[in-house]
Amino acid sequence: MTDDEFARCLHELVEDRRHGASELARRCLEIGAGSALAAPAANGAALRRLLAERSAALVQARPTMAPIDNLLARWQTALAGAPDADLARLRETAAAAARALIEESHAAVHRAAAHAARRIGRGRTVMTHSLSSTVVELFAQLRHEGVRAIVTESRPLCEGYRLAERLSAWAVPTTLITDAQAGLFVAKADAVVVGADTLLPDGSVVNKAGTYALAAVARDQVVPFYVCCESFKRRPAGAAAPELEEMDASELGAPALPHVTGRNVYFDITPARLVSGWFTERDEGDPAAGP
Amino acid sequence: MTDDEFARCLHELVEDRRHGASELARRCLEIGAGSALAAPAANGAALRRLLAERSAALVQARPTMAPIDNLLARWQTALAGAPDADLARLRETAAAAARALIEESHAAVHRAAAHAARRIGRGRTVMTHSLSSTVVELFAQLRHEGVRAIVTESRPLCEGYRLAERLSAWAVPTTLITDAQAGLFVAKADAVVVGADTLLPDGSVVNKAGTYALAAVARDQVVPFYVCCESFKRRPAGAAAPELEEMDASELGAPALPHVTGRNVYFDITPARLVSGWFTERDEGDPAAGP
């Protein structure tokens, strides 16, 4: 992967509105593997330096998404022990390490969803917000168990429509609502389940804007509010609060008016006290166990 | 006003998405006055019967909106004492009674807003949801007092854009956000103020869908959540819970998919326990006084 190709991948990552943090983190590992195999480098030390630089650039591109940081850090750690002397061998080792982490991430998503599916059980109505690949996996596991879905559109780009398409293809009975109707429909759900872009050290959840209000009404209606994600979503203890990415206000489609400023912050933070349980590949949602 | 003209007015009332309950209630009184002056009737008793029938049809057209019921009931009561003998005189009396109630409603809106404006004071940021004529009046009264606004778009038809236009014309610095960002921005407000389509006997508030979630996050962020409306919005003690009107799901603009049902309920109910104070023409928002 040349510098130009990498620059294009980086630009696509910055602009991506279609994929959640898990998928984008795996995409970054694919870019890493491609860079390892084919980036221009005179020797092992040069390749290692280039891969470290590209990793840093990928992390910087989506600062709200902890798994990009976590998985690329894991990858850099795996590379630290590989010998520099044989460039071709280092390329293969680095690419294989990235692919192994992609597999590990997929397996973690599957297990996290399995833990949540077991807790939710048969014949339940699950409400969610935005489009999380982990929540898609949850519905995949529950689709022959009589699950029903309540899905918010998730403005501004309405990725809830794409979740509805997936659920429709699986014949899951689905109710599709505006974000503003979340308070009306939460009482019809047996549980709310969302993914996460990042889990903060105290268990607070960085996720698509609208998650916090949904958690607040779920608490008010005494409906359990679960978070389901890989443990790679966790930001390490002591890490600074994440920057909440803001996208172009033109995505709102609102009229341009003097004195009026459109805002388009993509993420909000749901405090840990509103979360009923955290499901990861290791955690089975026991609130006493914490995040 | 002939039967055909009345039928057209009734249809417009059913379809109206642009006006809140106060404005529609006054519109119903205008229709009443027009009917009183020009509906076909052979004598006073026939006119009285026809006006009662048309009032009932207007109330039925928008069942979520208590002020239509309340103001037309007040009008019918005012008519009960008018003599039947002179048809022309009855027509004038009925029209004048309707106009007097329209004036009373305008004055009530102005006073309710004045009570809220006094509580909020100078240089504050007020957040609101949907388009309430009473909240517009509040901003009118505060616009030279350094008020700033945070306005949700209010899906599906985004009447928040029209509020932003009003505020823009008054040069009020305004932040316009998606409904999903309500949880993010409520902490930046000094107070949330909404109108009401109906006040229930216990002080719970029927208002545009999204109000309940906004109240829940305001409570979570310890930001006061006020309701500002005429006392005509009150449903009498013992009245049944209101029907929450649902409009055509095509307003969502979502793709049509098998197994997926779009829902478009226009109103939700915010429990009284989430309301910090009620401002009406009589009440100055003292929570201890109740709704």
- What's the CA gap between B289 and B291, in Å, rounded? 7
Cβ–Cβ below 8 Å for B260 and A164: yes
Q: Flag if A213 and B216 touch (Cβ within 8 Å).
A: yes
Q: Pick the catalytic residue: B69, B179, B197, B283?
A: B197
Distances (CA, A) of B211 to B65, B129, B245: 16, 7, 15
Nearest C-alpha neighbor of B10 from the set B41, B34, B31: B31
8 Å CB contact of B183 and A210: yes
Q: How far is A272 from chain B (nearest CA, A)?
A: 12
- Is A96 touching B (CB cutoff 8 A)? no
Beta carbons within 8 Å of B85's beta carbon, 6+ residues apart = B44
Residues sharing a CB contact under 8 Å with residue B289, sequence separation 6 or more, in sequence order? B278, B283
pLDDT of residue B286: 67
Contact assignment for B183 to A262 by CB distance below 8 Å: no
Query: Is pLDDT above 60 for A253?
Result: yes
Which chain B residues are Cβ-neighbours of A158 within 8 angstroms? 254
The residues, any chain, with a CB within 8 Å of residue B60's CB and separated by 6 or more, are: none
The reply to whether B255 touches chain A by the CB within 8 Å rule is yes
In chain A, which residues have their Cβ closer than 8 Å to the Cβ of B172?
259
pLDDT of residue B291: 57
Query: Which of B183, B216, B263 comes nearest A177 by C-beta?
Result: B263
**End-to-end distance of chain B based on CA atoms, in angstroms?**
38
Q: What angle do CA A11, A166, A148 make, to 5 degrees?
A: 135
Please give the Cα distance from A29 to A76 (Å, whole number).
11
- Helix-helix angle B211-220:A211-220, to 10 degrees: 90
pLDDT given at position A84: 86
Cβ within 8 Å of residue A231, ≥6 positions away: A108, A280, A281, A282, A283
Torsion sign (Cα): B247, B253, B258, B261: negative
Residue A25 is predicted with a pLDDT of 95
- Cβ pair B257:A177 closer than 8 A: no
Closest-CA distance of chain A to residue B147, Å: 12
In the predicted model, residues of chain B with pLDDT beneath 50 are none
- Report the pLDDT value the prediction gives residue A290, as an integer from 0 to 100: 58
Of the pLDDT bands very low, low, confident and very high (cuts 50, 70, 90), residue A289 is low
User: How far is the CA of B120 from the CAs of A276, B168, B183, in angstroms?
Assistant: 36, 20, 21
Closest in B154, B184, B252 to A153, CB measured: B252
| B210 touches A: beta carbon within 8 Å | yes
Per-residue model confidence as pLDDT tens digits over A80-90? 888 888 999 99
Chain centroid to CA A195: how far? 6
- How many C-alpha atoms does B5 have within 13 Å on its Cβ side? 10
- CB of B247 within 8 Å of a chain A CB? The answer is no
List A residues 15-74 in contact with B (Cβ-Cβ < 8 A): none
Residue among B178, B182, B260 minimizing CB distance to A156: B178
Q: Å from A217 to nearest chain B CA?
A: 6
Residue A287 — pLDDT band, cuts 50, 70, 90? low
Is A254 an 8 Å CB contact of chain B?
A: yes
Distance of CA B44 to the CA centre of its chain: 33
Helix (H, G, I), strand (E, B) or coil at A234: strand
CB of B271 less than 8 A from some CB of A: yes
For A227, the 3-state DSSP assignment is strand
Instruction: Please give the average per-residue pLDDT across A212-241, as a whole number.
Output: 93
Query: What is the C-alpha separation between B52 and B39, in angstroms, rounded?
Result: 12
- The answer to whether residue B274 neighbours chain A at the CB level (below 8 Å) is yes
Residue A69 appears among annotated catalytic residues: no
In the predicted model, what is the mean pLDDT of residues A22-39? 95
A230 Cβ partners below 8 Å, 6+ apart?
A: A22, A67, A105, A108, A109, A112, A134, A280, A281
Q: In chain A, pLDDT over 70 holds for what percent of residues?
A: 98
Q: How is residue B71 written in tokens?
A: 């103001």
Predicted local distance difference test score (pLDDT) of residue A215: 98
- How many angstroms away from the CA of B17 is the closest CA of chain A? 16
Instruction: State the nearest Cα–Cα gap between A225 and chain B, in angstroms.
Output: 15
Q: Is B221 on the interface with A (CB under 8 A)?
A: no
Beta bridge partners of residue B269, listed in sequence order: B206
The answer on pLDDT for A183 being more than 80 is yes
The per-residue pLDDT for B48 is: 94
Average pLDDT over residues A11-22: 91
Q: Can you say whether residue A146 is alpha, beta or left, with left for phi > 0 and alpha for psi between -120 and 50 degrees? A: left
